[in-house]
Chains A and B, each alone.
Chain A
Amino acid sequence: MTDLSSVQVAPAARPSPPVRPEYERPLEPLAADSVDTVLSLHQRLWQRAWLRKSVILVALALLWQVVATVQGNDLLLPSFTQTIRAFVEDIASGVLPVRAMYSLDVLFKGYVTGVVLAFLLTTLAVSTQIGRDFLSTLTSMLNPLPPIALLPLALLWFGLGQGSLVFVLIHSVLWPLSLNMYTGFTSVPETLRMTGRNYGLRGLRYVFLILVPAALPSIIAGLKIGWAFAWRTLIAAELVFGASSGRGGLGWYIFQNRNELYTDRVFAGLITVILFGLLVENVVFRQLERRTVAKWGMTR
């Protein structure tokens, strides 16, 4: 305003819009021909995530094959085809499936126990102040502690065998999952909480019917992290000892074959570990997300 008055523009020089005639008219009918451009085959294929990822995998396998051929030392780096051959052989002979089943069995026990404990701990933490302090103290103390560091102690307490493995697995799942679950519970919107209480829900029904589904994105994230930690920890722990009375898991398979310098079998074992990782991440968790949080629009 001060600007305008100080400049003192002549009224005629200031632009003003012309007054135009008004009009009203009936709405145009909707255009019949919708403009749906069809993407080319190549573009449609490229939109598939699995295809893009497969191309990456094939490229990596090719690279591996080339490097191994150039390097030419089976003991250090067997080629991709040799590894696949060893992989298929050991699957056919039943060695790998048995080892894998053993690992999965231990993993399942440890994982499920860890999840249940994490749930109890978080429920305690969201309902009481002391539970909250307990959880935050324990997680800040124990979360940074590598599970493998607990293995010597576990061996002392539970001996050689599944007990010690399950113990370190629980440790590897419990803390990251509890942290995620707790974050999930605390970030449930206040309005949704009040809505749940408005329904007359209390106690465990309130937790299971309102808090758990509302916190599901964080819970699934925690389950994923917990799974990755557990799988890693298990293979590492089996490498350290792993065999009891002639039984052992994938880690033990890798360790044993390295001792006998079957490097192709070492690679076959590693591939099995990776395959399980991919399977759980891309099939189990992906499906879980697609059927829940993605469908509900809670995550993208």
Chain B
Amino acid sequence: MDGLSAFAPQAGADEKNETVGGAALSAPLLSVENVTLEYRAPGRVVRATQNVSFDVWEADRFVLLGASGCGKSTLLKAVGGFIAPREGQILLDGHPVHGPGPDRVVVFQEFDQLPPWKTVRENVAFPVRVSGRMSRKQAAERADYYLEKVGLSRFADAYPNTLSGGMKQRVAIARALAMEPRVLLMDEPFAALDALTRRKMQEELLHLWEEVRFTLLFVTHSIEEALVVGNRIALLSPHPGRMRAEINSHEWDLNSGGSPEFQAATNRIHGLLFEQPETAGDIRA
């Protein structure tokens, strides 16, 4: 496979001796430390995650994987700054995260994340401009650059309502990349797409990563998608979300789909996620 600049510090070395050099070892880019998240439901407080910790390193494709209810999306929103942790802290470049900001851009699952009153180009250029880093012209140029990367140059002047679901997600990805964030956060970005488009988008995302080498934090509930997209996967158990395991998946790509090793990895993750080692004495918050 390609040269991997991102790897797991503990487990990476003994498996394959690829690229164990580099400054990336010095400190993680994003640290989630003992984070407990809670949100208010009518009449009660629901604990979404409990004491979750993980580190994301520069150029990682870090996947949060779990069944629904494991708090993975809530965790992503906490990293995005939309929810403050009840306990613990989230550090980006060593500084705690307070509120949403353009250094952590989220690509959502929903298609309505694109303001419908802006053309595709404006949709990509607008956040670059309002986050106060570039003039209108520079922002438009950068928008065109990233739109070309996702193959949407022809649709730069179209309004989002004329685009298909896959194209809308491409615009959202171009927009996120154009803001050149420290971390790109993706909340099941391909879950609302049909299977064929989803596969194509996964492929394109990996190509983009090859080119741009952004840092990605990716939420999914699909084991296959996690193995293909990520280089490291955090497995979360539901109700509330707790860390079950962190495993490496840098050896898999879209071509390893049918192989017996891939099947074995899938089964291993399945086992980790759905076997319940602890008994019914488990107290739910």
- B-binding residues in A (CB < 8 A): 189, 191-192, 194-195, 197-201, 205, 209-210, 213-214, 216, 292, 295-298
Kindly supply a per-residue 1/0 record for chain B positions 195-223, scoring 1 wherever the CB is within 8 Å of any chain A CB and 0 otherwise: 00000000000000000000000000000
Q: Cα distance A198–B132 when bound, in Å?
A: 13
Are the CB atoms of A191 and B112 closer together than 8 Å?
A: yes
Within the complex, which residue of B114, B115, B131 is in contact with A200, where a contact is CB–CB below 8 Å?
B131
Stretch at the interface among B35-43, B102-110, B134-142, B250-258: B102-110
Chain B interface residue number, banded: 20 to 34
B82 within 8 A of A: yes
Q: Cα distance A197–B130 when bound, in Å?
A: 11
CB distance from A248 to the nearest CB of B (A): 42
Kindly supply a per-residue 1/0 record for chain B positions 113-145, scoring 1 wherever the CB is within 8 Å of any chain A CB and 0 otherwise: 111110000000011001110000000000000
Q: A residues within 8 A CB of B94?
A: none
- Residue in B closest to A297 when the chains form the complex, CB atoms: B161
Q: Cα distance A205–B126 when bound, in Å?
A: 13
Interface-centre pick from A194, A195, A201 (highest chain B CB count, 10 A): A195
Are the CB atoms of A192 and B102 closer together than 8 Å?
A: no
Between-chain CB contacts (< 8 Å), 5 pairs: A189-B112, A191-B110, A194-B100, A194-B108, A200-B132
9 further contact pairs, Cβ within 8 A, besides A194-B80, A200-B101, A209-B130: A191-B112, A192-B113, A198-B80, A199-B102, A199-B127, A199-B131, A214-B115, A297-B160, A297-B161
Q: Cα distance A205–B132 when bound, in Å?
A: 13
Interface-centre pick from B102, B104, B130 (highest chain A CB count, 10 A): B130
Within the complex, which residue of B114, B117, B126, B130 is in contact with A216, where a contact is CB–CB below 8 Å?
B117
- Residue in A closest to B108 when the chains form the complex, CB atoms: A191
Q: A residues within 8 A CB of B104?
A: 198
- Residue in A closest to B112 when the chains form the complex, CB atoms: A189
Q: A residues within 8 A CB of B102?
A: 198-200
Q: A residues within 8 A CB of B117?
A: 213-214, 216, 292, 296, 298
CB distance from A210 to the nearest CB of B (A): 7
Q: A residues within 8 A CB of B101?
A: 198, 200
Q: Cα distance A292–B159 when bound, in Å?
A: 11
CB distance from B116 to the nearest CB of A (A): 4
B162 within 8 A of A: yes
Within the complex, which residue of A192, A194, A200 is in contact with B130, where a contact is CB–CB below 8 Å?
A200
> A197-B82, A198-B100 are known contacts. Are A296 and B113 too (CB-CB below 8 A)?
no
Are the CB atoms of B162 and A194 closer together than 8 Å?
A: no
Counted as pairs of residues, one from A and one from B, with CB atoms less than 8 Å apart, the total is 66
Within the complex, which residue of A195, A199, A214, A296 is in contact with B159, where a contact is CB–CB below 8 Å?
A296
Q: Which of B243-261 touch A at CB < 8 Å?
A: none
Are the CB atoms of B106 and A192 closer together than 8 Å?
A: no
Q: B residues within 8 A CB of A213?
A: 115, 117
Q: Cα distance A205–B101 when bound, in Å?
A: 15
Q: Cα distance A199–B129 when bound, in Å?
A: 9
CB distance from B140 to the nearest CB of A (A): 16
Q: Cα distance A29–B117 when bound, in Å?
A: 38
Are the CB atoms of B159 and A295 closer together than 8 Å?
A: yes
CB distance from A207 to the nearest CB of B (A): 13
Q: B residues within 8 A CB of A189?
A: 110, 112
Are the CB atoms of A194 and B112 closer together than 8 Å?
A: no
Are the CB atoms of A298 and B108 closer together than 8 Å?
A: no
- Residue in B closest to A199 when the chains form the complex, CB atoms: B127
Are the CB atoms of B115 and A192 closer together than 8 Å?
A: yes
CB distance from A203 to the nearest CB of B (A): 13
- Residue in B closest to A192 when the chains form the complex, CB atoms: B112
Q: B residues within 8 A CB of A295?
A: 159
> A296-B161, A297-B162 are known contacts. Are A194 and B82 too (CB-CB below 8 A)?
yes
Q: Cα distance A200–B132 when bound, in Å?
A: 9
- Residue in B closest to A210 when the chains form the complex, CB atoms: B115
Within the complex, which residue of A194, A201, A209, A298 is in contact with B116, where a contact is CB–CB below 8 Å?
A298
Q: B residues within 8 A CB of A209?
A: 130
